[in-house]
Chain A
Amino acid sequence: MKKINGARIILEGLKRQGVDTIFGYPGGKVIPLYNELYDFSGINHILTRHEQGAAHAADGYARVTGKVGVCVSTSGPGATNLVTGIMTAYMDSIPMVAITGQVATYEIGKDAFQESDITGITMPVTKHNYLVKDVKDLPRIIKEAFYIASTGRPGPVLIDIPSNIQQAEINFEEFEILHNEPIRLDSYNPNYEGHPKQIKSAIRMINQSKRPVILAGAGIIKSKASKEFIKFVERTNIPVGVTLLGLGSIPTAHDLCLGMLGMHGTYAANYSVFESDLVIAIGMRFDDRVTGNLETFAKNAKVIHIDIDPAEIGKNKKADIPIVGDVKRVLVKFLEKMPQREKTEWNETVTKWKNENPLVYKNSNEEIKPQYLIEKISELTNGEAIIVTDVGQHQMWTAQYYKFKNPDSHCTSGGAGTMGYALPAALGAKVGLPNKPVIAIVGDGGIQMTSQELMTLAHFNIPVKVVIVNNSYLGMVRQWQEIFYSNRYSQVDLEISPDFVKLAEAYSLKGVRIETPSELDEKLNDLLTSNEPVVIDVKVSKEENVLPMVPAGGDSHKMLGIKGEL
C-alpha cells in the first residue's frame, strides 16, 4: 500500500493550498522535509541566507500578491531567527504560515539539542500556532493554518513539527480522507458583513456632518476595496488622510487625498482631523503614530469606525458608530445607499490648507537631497513600481514623496518598524510579482542588518533594485537626538561603513555609486529599468530632517517644521 510521511504531507498540503513558492533555510530538524522537497515538483524553494530573510521575504510576497506567504526553518536558532519576521507580519496583519522543525516528540522538554519552545515564544506574535504531536493531525492543521492566516483579520500562523512526526508514515488513502475532512473551527467565525442598521446610521451621520474627514488604512488594501473606496470618496466628496500602510488605497495625487496622517503626515491631513466634526476610520486602528495625543486627536469629532477586527473598535478611540466587517463588503453596502454629496465650504477650507502647506524641502545643486531622490524615483516609475522600504528617515520620505497610484504597491514595516525588512521583503515581492518593477529603498543602517540577502538576489537572479539612501547616519535616531536631545549624537555615526559598491560586487551583483544630483539625473533611469539586480549607493545630504513632525505623544495638529525647516 502506498505510504506518505509527515514531511510529504506538509508539501502536499502546501501544494493543495495553492502554494508554489516557499522561502526557507534547512537544518537538522527539517532534513526530513528538505529530503522530500528534493524531488517534489510544484514547489519552488528560495534559499535565503538567514531565516529572518525568509520570514520577511514571505511577508513581502504576501503583501503584493495577497496570497499566504510561507517560510520554513529548523528548530531552535532557526526558529528564533524567524521571530522578528513573524512579529513584523503580525503587527501589520500579513497572512503568513511559518513552518518550523522541532526536536522529536519524545525529546520535547528535555533541553534537547536545538530545542526551543517556539510555540511559547511566538504566542504573542502569531494569530495562532500549533505544535503537531500526531502525524494524523497534520493534514487538518495545515488546512486550518492557511484558513486562519488568510481570513478575518489576516496574520501569521506557526506550525511546529517535530522531526519524528515528519518521518512518521500513514497510508496515502488515509491521508486523502484526513485531508478531505472539512475545516471545523467552532470558535473562529470572522464577521464579514457590516450591520445594515449601523451603516444606515452612519450614512445619516455623514449627511449631518459639516466637517467630515476619512482616515484610510491598510484594511482597504487588504480587502481589495480600493475601487469601492475611491467611489465612496468621490460620492461623498470627503477629504482623505491616509495611514502609512494605507498608502496606495487612493492615488496620492487624487484631488481629495490630503496625503499621510500622523507623525510625519501633511499639515492638511492632520489639521483637517483636528478641525473635523466627524472622522470615518476605514480599516485602520488609531495607531499612536497616527493619533499622537489621543486626548486632542479629533477632539470634537464623532467617530465611525469600520474594521474587520472587533477588538480594534474602542481600543484606542471610542467609536460612536462601530461597523465590524470586511471593508469591501461594507463599502459596497454604503454605495448602495449613499446619495451623492456635493462639495462644501469645508472642501474649500481643506484644499486651502493643502495648497498653502504642501510638503517642502530646500533642494540643492551640490548634494542630493533624499526627498529629491524619492521624487525622482516616483517620476521615473510613474508611481507604479512596487516600493519596499526599510525603517527610518528614508521610509518617511518615501511615504511623503512617492506618488503611489495603486494598492499593493507599498511594502513597509509599519507596526513593528523592523530595520532590515526592505531587502528580503523586496526579494519576496519580486518573486511574487516577477513582472513588476520592485525597488527596495533602504538606509545605510538597515541594509547592514540583512545585507546577506544580496546573495539571494544573485543566486536566484531576482532583479530587485536596491537603493541605499546613504546619509552616513542612523538618520532617524540622529534626527531625534538633534531635536529632542540637544544635538547629542550618541552612537548614530555610520561614517565607518562598508563600501556598498564593493559589497555588491562581492556578491557578484552590479553596484553603482551616485554622489551628485546631475549624476542622479543621468544614471538613475537606466539603473531602474535594466533587468538585473543592482545596488545603488546614493550619497545624500547627511543631516536632512523628516518634516513636518509631531513629537511622540504630542498634539497631532501642532506640527514642527511645516515650512520645511525647524
Chain B
Amino acid sequence: MRHVISVIVENKPGVLTRISALFSRRGFNIESLTVGHTENPKLSRMTIVVEGDTDILEQIEKQLYKLIDTLKVIDLPKDTSVNRELVLIKVIADKKNRSEIIQFTDIYRGKIVDVGENTLTIEITGDDGKLEAFISMMSKFGIKELVRTGKIALHRGEKTVM
C-alpha cells in the first residue's frame, strides 16, 4: 500500500542525507520526497511517499525516530488528509492544437505559465488522480519535458502533526 508520511526534523545541514540514506540502507522504497521549512524556521517538514505494508510502515517510523534529528513521524491517511502535488509540463503545441490544450488546461484548472513558439508550459496542482488524468491527456499532444514537486500533505480540519 502507498503511504504518505510527514516527518518533522530539525532544520540542520545533513538531515536530508540522513533521512534519505536511511531509506536506501534499510531497503525501503521512496516514491517521492519533498522538504522545506515549516511555520517554525528551526524545523523542516518532509513529506515522503512510500510503498509498503503496515509492518514496513511501522519499521520506517521506528527507524526514522532513531535518528537524533527526527521530532515527529506521522502517517497521513488518505481520507483524513489533503494532499497535493504540483507539476510543470512542457507540451508540444502547434497552431492546430494550441487552443485545445488551453481548453483542457482550463477544465483541469491548470495555468499556462509560459508560451514558446511551439510549446506551452502548464502548471497544474492536484491529487494523484487528477494529475495522472491530465498528464495522460497531454501525452497525446506530446510532452517535451515534465517535472513534479512530489507530494505534500496536511491533516484535514483542526488537527496538526505537532
The residues of A that contact B63 with a CB separation of less than 8 Å are 311
User: Counting CB contacts under 8 A, is B139 at the interface?
Assistant: no
CA distance A124 to B55 in the complex (A): 22
Q: Is A127 an interface residue (CB 8 A)?
A: yes
**Counting CB contacts under 8 A, is B160 at the interface?**
no
A314 and B68 within 8 A (CB): no
Asked if A70 is at the interface of the complex by the 8 Å CB criterion, the answer is: no
Residues of B in contact, count (CB < 8 Å):
19
A45 part of interface (Cβ distance < 8 Å): no
Give chain B interface residues in 6-49, CB to chain A under 8 Å.
9-10, 14, 17-18, 21, 25
CA distance A128 to B25 in the complex (A): 15
A504: Cβ under 8 A from any B Cβ: no
For residue A120, CB closer than 8 A to chain B, the reply is yes
Contact of B70 among A120, A124, A131, A187 (CB under 8 A): A187
Residues A187 and B71 in contact in the complex (CB < 8 Å), given A124-B21, A311-B65: yes
In the complex, residue of chain B having the shortest beta-carbon distance to the beta carbon of A310: B62
Q: At the interface, yes or no: A566 with Cβ under 8 Å from chain B?
A: no
A1 interfacial by beta-carbon distance below 8 Å? no
Question: Within the complex, what minimum Cβ distance (angstroms) separates B133 from chain A?
Answer: 38
A310 to B73, CA, bound (A): 14
What's the Cα separation between A188 and B70 when bound, in Å?
A: 8
Q: Which residues of B contact A119 (CB under 8 A)?
A: 14
> Could you say which of A131, A185, A309, A314 contacts B66, with CB atoms under 8 Å apart?
A309
Contact of A188 among B17, B55, B58, B68 (CB under 8 A): B68
Tell me which of B9, B17, B62, B71 has the highest count of chain A C-beta atoms within 10 A of its own C-beta: B62
CB 8 Å contact bits of B60-76 with A (1 = contact, 0 = none): 00110111111100000
**A315 at the A/B interface (Cβ < 8 Å)?**
yes
Asked if A148 lies at the interface with its beta carbon under 8 angstroms from chain B, I say yes
The verdict on A314 contacting B69 (CB below 8 Å), with A123-B17, A123-B18, A124-B25 known, is no
> Of B17, B59, B69, which one neighbours A187 at CB under 8 angstroms?
B69
Contact B66–A311 (Cβ < 8 Å):
yes
Q: Which residue of B lies closest to A311 (CB)?
A: B62
In the complex, what residues of B have CB within 8 A of residue A314's CB? 55, 58-59
- CB of A187 within 8 A of CB of B10, answer yes
Q: In the bound complex, how far is the Cα of B25 from the Cα of A341, in angstroms?
A: 44
> Which residue on B lies nearest to A130, using beta carbons?
B14
Specify the chain A residue showing the minimal Cβ separation from B71: A187
- Distance in angstroms between the alpha carbons of A314 and B66 in the assembled complex: 15
At the interface, yes or no: A526 with Cβ under 8 Å from chain B?
no
- Which residue of chain B lies nearest to A144 when distances are taken between CB atoms in the complex? B68
Per the bound structure, the CA–CA distance linking A186 and B21 in Å amounts to: 22
Contact partners of B69 in chain A: CB under 8 A: 187
Q: Tell me whether A123 and B21 are in contact (CB under 8 A).
A: yes
B68 contacts across to A, CB distance below 8 A? 127-128, 148, 185, 187-188
Contacts of A309 in B (CB 8 A): 66
In the complex formed, the residue of A with least CB distance to B66 is A311
How does the 8 Å CB contact mask read for B100-115 relative to A, with 1 for contact and 0 for none? 0000000000000000
- Provide a sorted-by-A list of 18 A–B residue pairs whose CB atoms are within 8 angstroms: A119-B14, A120-B17, A123-B21, A124-B21, A127-B68, A128-B67, A131-B14, A148-B68, A187-B68, A187-B69, A187-B71, A188-B68, A309-B66, A311-B59, A311-B65, A314-B59, A315-B62, A318-B55
B binding-site residues for A, Cβ under 8 Å: 9-10, 14, 17-18, 21, 25, 55, 58-59, 62-63, 65-71
Q: A188-B68, A314-B58 are in contact. List 4 more A-B contacts (CB 8 A).
A: A186-B71, A311-B59, A311-B66, A314-B55
The 6 closest A-B pairs by CB, nearest first: A311-B62, A128-B68, A187-B71, A310-B62, A188-B68, A311-B63
